[in-house]
Amino acid sequence: MKKPVLLLLAGSLASLSFGQNARLVFNSSALGEAYITYGTAPTTTTYLVINNNAANAITELVAGNGNIVSEHQNNRIRWRNLTTTATPFVVPYTTAGDVKIPFTFNKTTAGAGPGGHDSLSFVLATFNHQLVPGAQWDNTLYLPTGVTHMNDFYLGSPDNSQNAVNRFWIVDPKAAPWAYTTAPNTTLTFINDDVQDIDNVGGVGNQDVIVSGDALQAQRFNPGLNKWGDYQSVTLGSASATAGGRTTVSNVLVTDAGFFRSWTLSSTTNPLPIELTSWKGECDGGKVELTWSTSTETDNDYFTIEKSATGDTWEELARVDAAGNTVSETGYTYYDENISGLSYYRLSQTDVDGRTEVFSTVAAGCDADYTEIFNAWDNGNELQVVVSSTDANIYDLILTDAQGKVMLNRPSQAINKGFTPFSLSKAGIATGLYVITLQNANDVMTRRVFLH
């Protein structure tokens, strides 16, 4: 029989803390008896604080017999490990179905921070579709805070949840107020319960393609680019099948510049969409010059360029033959001579087997500088705003209610050339219709958005 320890919320924050010389010890000789179980649907954040920099601060007296059941992003562990390096810190996570999925982080550099009792912490969590019963296939129904999609951010290309496991991990050394100012170089090891990804619902064509033993890779969400699969500072880990229908992805090396908090695992043959090396559009002598490049190509058949006046309805502009197979950087150029004001362009790539991947949108034209609020929506956690501009500029961003009351004010926001995304907190803002305004001394624009 399980012997669970329940962490129940009381007030705005619950915390169970183990001091510098104390250890959390799972003392059980039988598998499945020693458990810490968080609440299943917390409305506020619960922290299990490990205030001990030793690797054995969480100890299983019998290896594999400790269990921490989380299954919500608000159920967090804060491990204050100071500057200890070259030591694997293991969190004995277990699924709600009693499958062991321990998570390991091993720092290879010390990192840096302001010092003090509460600094230099890793904040950790993991969860899956338990948040939304019956939503195993569609990961978009239980995204981590700050993650906006499982596909390309701007284009609405098909949800690629079926090629990702139905689990997310939070790995955050930059959580205020305990952040590293420079995060340590860290090697991560993820373990996934693949059986959960086989027994799914969603109808024909919506089943996860992940099965036990599939080759998986770790992917993180870059909120600055609003992209999955940004590998500039991440070395892909190695994957291996693990007993009991699990897959381990190990040796995932992350440096300070690449430490983004939200992670998942995806199929290596159908990863979440990744960015081209470059993709841009600029006016050149009365024509729009569209250029892009790839770092490698495998069985790449052709590229498709689509054009839109509004960013909503698209028409095919051209197809450009691809290099096919190459491991060197390859550049492409196409000129659009039919120019009338600002237009939006998006690029897609089609393999020889017919599989298509859609990349990001660029805005370009040959008229005067142009800026607009391209899109705005409530993702359930935050207000998301995307601004499109042909040139860099500075604007004040203001959110007002229907009566004109200012609910949020962000002065002097940098608007970049192309697309600039913003994530705005909805804290203290009621359901209703609101107006987003961008303004400076020379320009003003508005867009309405409904917050729910």
The domain ranges of the chain are 3-267, 278-364, 371-451
Is the per-residue pLDDT at 189 higher than 60?
A: yes
Mean pLDDT score across all residues of the chain: 78
DSSP structural state of residue 399: E
Q: What CATH number has the domain spanning 371-451?
A: 2.60.40.2360
Please give the CATH architecture assigned to the domain spanning 278-364: Sandwich (2.60)
- Give the pLDDT of residue 274: 47
- Give the pLDDT of residue 199: 43
Mean pLDDT for 193-222 is 60
Helix (H, G, I), strand (E, B), or coil: what is residue 406? strand
CA distances for 375 relative to 6, 98, 419, 436, angstroms: 43, 42, 10, 11
Q: What are the tokens at 223? A: 């909120």
Mean pLDDT for 142-158 is 70
Q: What is the DSSP string of 367-398?
A: SS--EEEEEEEE-SSEEEEEEEESS-EEEEEE
Q: What are the tokens at 141? A: 């129904």
Question: Does this chain's domain 278-364 share its CATH topology with 371-451?
Answer: yes
Report the amino acid identity of residue 264.
T
pTM: 0.59
Is the per-residue pLDDT at 201 higher than 50?
A: no
CA distance 104 to 91: 6
- pLDDT tens by residue, 24-64: 888 766 666 677 888 766 778 888 888 888 888 888 877 77
Instruction: Give the confidence band of 247 by pLDDT, cuts at 50, 70, 90.
Output: confident
- Give the pLDDT of residue 249: 86
Q: What is the DSSP string of 255-323?
A: -GGG--SEEEEEESSSPSP---SEEEEEEETTEEEEEEEES-BSSEEEEEEEEESSSSS-EEEEEEE--
Least confident of 87-96, 119-128, 220-229, 418-427: 220-229
Mean pLDDT for 229-234 is 46
22 vs 394 pLDDT, higher one: 394
CA distance 263 to 310: 33
CA distance 171 to 121: 11
- pLDDT tens by residue, 385-398: 888 887 788 999 99
Specify whether the CB–CB gap between 45 and 10 falls below 8 A.
no
Is the per-residue pLDDT at 275 higher than 60?
A: no
Q: What are the tokens at 320? A: 């450009």
CA distance 14 to 10: 6
Longest dimension (CA), the chain: 76
CA distance 76 to 119: 16
